Structure 1
Amino acid sequence: MKAVLKFAVAAAAVPFVILSAGTNAKAQMSMPDACKTEASAMKDMNMSGGGMQMGDMAEHQKATMESMQKMHPAMMQAMMAKDPDVAFVCGMIAHHMGAISMSEVELKYGDDEQAKSMAQKIIDAQKKEIEEMTTWVKDHAK
């Protein structure tokens, strides 16, 4: 698990690669308007502690923020891998770990059965993919 976390940091490279791939990629990666509306409150919030304080958040928001605060540094560290393939795979490991953490928050705090079902499917799929990517990193990272 320690090796997974160490290599998990590269996921931050993925958004940069996708977004720099051209306008077509950007168009395919747009957030739904309802998500943008909810996310607009984030403009005033510094994730390092400024702006909205964690104490002002609902429990599910605190849990999600805590998981994001763990995921982002891991993604940034992985992005620093010199080999682009290793950076990509390691970054995806961190990204998937973040998705699992967010899905666990949904299972704990969510009420909608369809959303909870999606969360469980994400957990199952991403754990399998993390295992595959971890094996790839062991075989390919130098």
Structure 2
Amino acid sequence: MQHNQHGMTDLSILPQGCQDAIQQSGTSGMMQGMDMSSMMGGMENMDEAQQASMQAMMEMNGPMMATHTIKDPDLAFHCGMIAHHAGAIAMAEVELQYGDDEESKAIAQRIIDAQGPEIEEMTAWVDEHTGQ
């Protein structure tokens, strides 16, 4: 899980409206100290593809969990799905880079093609409903 310079979960994959709502929830501090990289201690024993996959997962999990602290269920849904889709795209990119199976690579490309526009749609909703 990525942390910013203040030790907080890196929420930069989320639109500003989501970041603001997480901060306003008053529970964003609970995400501090939840460092998945320490839980995944043996990354140095993983090959490059495994490390890339794990990194993609860690970058998604913190923001996705943090969105569940948002009080507005509609906003929480959109913000959580943006983080989830960003993680799916990152994992699909790992498949495209390291995978060998053409069918798996085709699925990964379909995920990227479908979920990128969905992120844009949900980000527009967040921006509209949070006044960004």
* Fold shared per TM-score above 0.5: yes
Q: Distance in 2 between matches of 1:55 and 1:71?
A: 20
Is 2:15–2:126's contact at 8 Å kept on the other side of the alignment? no
Q: Name whichever structure is richer in helix by fraction.
A: 1
Counterpart for residue 110 of structure 1 = 99
The RMSD of aligned alpha carbons is 2.3
Alignment map for 1:113-124 (pairs within 5 Å): 113-124=102-113
The size of the alignment, in residue pairs, is 105
Compute the displacement of 1:81 (Å).
1.1
Counterpart for residue 31 of structure 1 = none
Deviation string 1:60-101 (CA, Å, 9 cap, x unpaired) is 110011111111111122111110000011000000000000
Gaps of 5+ in 2: 1-11, 22-34
Q: Distance in 1 between matches of 2:57 and 2:15?
A: 14
Deviates further, 68-77 or 128-137: 68-77
Percent identity among equivalent residues?
53
Equivalent position amino acid for 1:134 in 2: T
Is 2:56–2:90's contact at 8 Å kept on the other side of the alignment? yes
Q: Looking at both structures, which has the greater relative contact order when contacts are Cα pairs under 8 Å and sequence separation is at least 6?
A: 1
**Structure 1 position 88 matched with structure 2 position 80:** no
Counterpart for residue 138 of structure 1 = 127
Secondary structure at the residue paired with 2:71? coil
Is 1:74–1:94's contact at 8 Å kept on the other side of the alignment? yes
Secondary structure at the residue paired with 1:48? helix
Compute the displacement of 1:47 (Å).
3.6
Equivalent position amino acid for 1:136 in 2: W
